[in-house]
Amino acid sequence: METTEKKFRKLSGGNKLDSRLTLTYFSIAFVTLFIGGLLGLLQGLNRAGLLELPANFNYYQVLTAHGILLVLVFSVLFVIAYFYSVLSHTMDGLFPVVRKMGWIALVTMLIGVVFVVTTVVMGKASVMYTFYPPMKASPWFYVGLFIVVAGIWMAAFGGFIQIAKWRKRNRGEHIPLLAFFAMGVFTLLFFGSLGVTAEVLMLIPWAFGWTEKINVMLSRTLFWSFGHTFVNIWYLTAVSLWYVVVPKVIGGRLFSDTLTRVVVILLVVSNIPGGFHHQIVDPGMSEGIKLTHALMSMVIGFPSLMTAFAMFFVFARVGRKKGANGVFGWITKMPWGDVRFLAPMIAMIFFIPGGAGGIAQNANQLNQVVHNTLWVVGHFHITVGVTAVLTFFGAMYWLIPYLSKRTLTPAMNKLGVIQTLIWTLGMLFMAGGMHTVGLLGAPRRTSYTTYGDSAVAASWDPYLLLLAVGGTLLTIGLVLIVYIVFNLMFFAPKGDTEFPIAEGEDNASDTPKWTERWSLWIAIMLFIVAFGYVIPLIDMIGNAPPGSAPFITW
Amino acid sequence: MKMHRYEKIWLFLAASMLVIAVVYSGVQTFALGQGPPSGVGMIDPEKVEETAPFDNPGISKIGENEYEVVMILRAFSFEPNAIEIPAGATVHFKMTSTDVMHGFQVIGTNLNAMIMPGHIQEAKQKFTKPGEYLVICNEYCGIGHQLMSMTITVK
Ligand SMILES: [Cu+2]
């Protein structure tokens, strides 16, 4: 039984010091989202041939900044803030040392971001967020990246310490389900970024000129060991909200505590080698290794399909309780007007084409059709921009008021519904156009061009206009969400908002103890990483071509 | 771990689908010879112009309607930057880069490959339909990336 005092605290924002920390993260995250999003609009307009960028404002510089601000800064800040809120809420507050680590992590990351963004703005680092060598940015760009990663590690270790301390104090208890997700995400944040850190530590002396040559293939492989894991960190974050929060919002119960934990474990252990599919059309790797990796990437599809089943099972069960009949009767019983449901629901629906596209890109031959085309960018924007980010937006309507001790008014809910629909429509236009024109061959990461008045390139133009239309709608959505977040943070009416966490079914079976054995899961994860990477890495290091000297090509 | 019967069926179908995708990929790669471009040759990126066969880039006939194209990619051009072949020709491309990473994508075909300094990429493609094919660099390589293109004319 919860004491009234404890219950009250849970309703009204938990620990005030923790809320201050996470609200600061969220504020910076959404300002970053706003700036990064506007840069995206500039590109969409330029690519459609509608806008000439100012001479000292290079397309590739804008693209680099857009990618870094959204992919790296916004998402990392969001994910950490969300999971720190989760740990604070489900574990009765953060331990003081953890809260302190949260602040140090934030400051560290921001210092790193200043290095990175400054070099990009100065035109000394237009290397995209993939920064493939031997293209060379200012060394301070890489130093900045390293500092950002150090901040991420600090936050991850804060998470580990929180969970370890809580477990010591609550012997024999399962860690709360959302905290279980946090454990998975912090594990991936730390282990997933080890590869890229090794890469950056090789790039720094090379960029300063202390070492002469760089192993291009090795760098690229280390980058993607992190690149894909990172995408799955946003995805795992979104999934946590689908499993635990959405059922509560629609008046239902958890699907199954055990199966949810199994999904987390599967996503964590199978994740890191998935990045290899970014290298399917690379030279220097045999077809056998590529096929092994196609299989290893494909495995990630399995827990995702488990999730798809779980979600529809929950919807159907709630629908039936409310008197729905038939397989799809539940659709009419869902609270479509409640933005806390609508936003994540649309996010889930978009995961159907998004996930299918991901499976397609994993296949050796299909990958060849779409590799480095705008199709990939379209895929990226529906998976990250809708599946992950719209779920994140959906969480803001209760998490921000919960933290700021305010309430979501019907008017703000309505504005949220409008925001959700505009965002969805914008992504439909933009990602739809990108998918189509990518299949026709239009490349990604390329400014407006006619390729010497090529007829084929001219046939892409109508689709590229869709990018501009979508980008414009998304910008409106962007303004709205930023307004909503800050309104809920500072101006909405005072009151209590609940942190919605679904409970298990009354007849649910107990969660087995083995799910908690994180040392085992991490060992299995490392084993799978070794299985996927040891042989290729040894080959890339031992059997490497002469390295590359740096090039600055912009 | 209690699982619903429907879930077991669903997960069986899901696993089957993923296995079929991988098996099919394997059959295409190893039995049908349609693997992704995977050249494993290496070269010193600073000595490309003096290393055979790249000391003599261009097109050469190597068999009955079969050609080899040796190509150097550099920011922001292809060498050679235009080739002509008869319809139905099978072309074996051998490519490398002298500087940064580039892409090699023949629009209207499935030919799409990464070209990296130090590595010799190989890919083959049969061109059945006559016409002019646009070839572009699809990996960002710098300020002139959007200008990096060439043509393959099939007669
Ligand atoms: Cu290029």
Read off the pLDDT of residues A226-262 as tens digits, 9 standing for 90 and up: 888 888 899 999 999 999 999 999 988 888 888 889 8
The contacts of residue A16 (CB under 8 Å, 6+ apart) are: none
Q: Are A465 and A488 in contact (CB under 8 A)?
A: no
Q: Which chain A residues are Cβ-neighbours of B122 within 8 angstroms? A: 283
pLDDT (tens, 9 = 90+) of chain A, 554 residues, equals 344 445 544 545 568 899 999 999 999 999 999 999 999 998 888 888 888 877 777 889 889 999 999 988 999 999 999 999 999 999 989 999 999 999 999 999 999 999 999 999 998 988 998 999 899 999 999 999 999 999 999 999 999 999 999 999 988 888 999 999 999 999 999 998 999 999 999 999 999 999 999 999 999 999 988 888 888 899 999 999 999 999 999 988 888 888 889 889 988 888 787 777 888 888 888 888 888 877 777 888 888 888 888 888 889 889 988 888 877 888 888 999 999 999 999 999 999 888 888 878 877 778 888 999 999 999 989 999 999 999 999 999 999 999 999 999 999 999 999 999 999 999 999 999 999 999 998 999 888 888 888 888 888 888 888 988 999 999 999 999 999 999 999 999 999 898 999 888 887 777 888 888 888 888 888 888 888 888 888 888 888 888 888 999 88
Q: What's the gap in Å between A373 CA and the centre of ligand 1?
A: 13
Query: How close is the Cα of B63 to the center of ligand 1, in Å?
Result: 31
B32 CB-near residues (< 8 Å, 6+ apart) = none
CA distances from A50 to A43, A468, B81 (A): 10, 8, 30
CB contact under 8 A, B114 and A58: no
Place of tokens 């394997």: B26
Facing A363 at nearest CB: one of B3, B21, B149: B21
CB within 8 Å of chain A, chain B residues 35-54: 35-46
- Ligand 1 center from residue B86 Cα (angstroms): 27
Rounded-to-10 torsion of CA A36, A37, A39, A44: 150
Q: Which among B28, B40, B44 has the least Cβ separation from residue A286?
A: B40
- Is B134 in contact with A373 (Cβ distance < 8 A)? no
Q: Which residues of B touch A546 (CB under 8 A)?
A: 44-46, 118
**Residue A130: how many other CB atoms lie within 10 Å:** 18
CA A421 to CA A432: how far, in whole Å?
Answer: 16
Interface predicted TM-score of the whole assembly (ipTM), two decimals: 0.91
- Cβ distance A286 to A220 under 8 Å? no
Number of cross-chain residue pairs from A and B with Cβ atoms under 8 Å apart: 213
Cα A261 from Cα A264, distance rounded (Å)? 5
Min Cα distance A315 → chain B (Å) is 14
Q: Which of A58, A217, A440 sits opposite B143 (nearest CB)?
A: A58
Report CA Rg, chain A.
23
Tokens standing for A155? Answer: 């936050």
User: For chain B, what percent of residues have pLDDT higher than 70?
Assistant: 98
Q: From chain B, pick out residues whose CB is under 8 angstroms from the CB of A457.
A: 134
Give the 3-state secondary structure of residue B103: strand
Residues A316, A330: Cα–Cα separation, whole Å: 5
Are A546 and B2 an interchain contact pair (Cβ–Cβ within 8 Å)? no
pLDDT at B7 over 80: no
Give B21-36 pLDDT, tens digit per residue: 778 778 877 777 777 8
Going by pLDDT thresholds of 50, 70 and 90, the confidence category of residue B1 is low
A202 C-alpha to ligand 1 centroid (Å)? 24
Mutation site for A-interface testing, chosen from B6, B30, B146 by largest number of A Cβ within 10 Å: B146
Asked if residues A256 and A310 have their Cβ atoms less than 8 Å apart, the reply is: yes
- In a 3-state reduction of DSSP, which class is residue B104? strand
Spacing, Cα A521 to ligand 1 middle (Å): 42
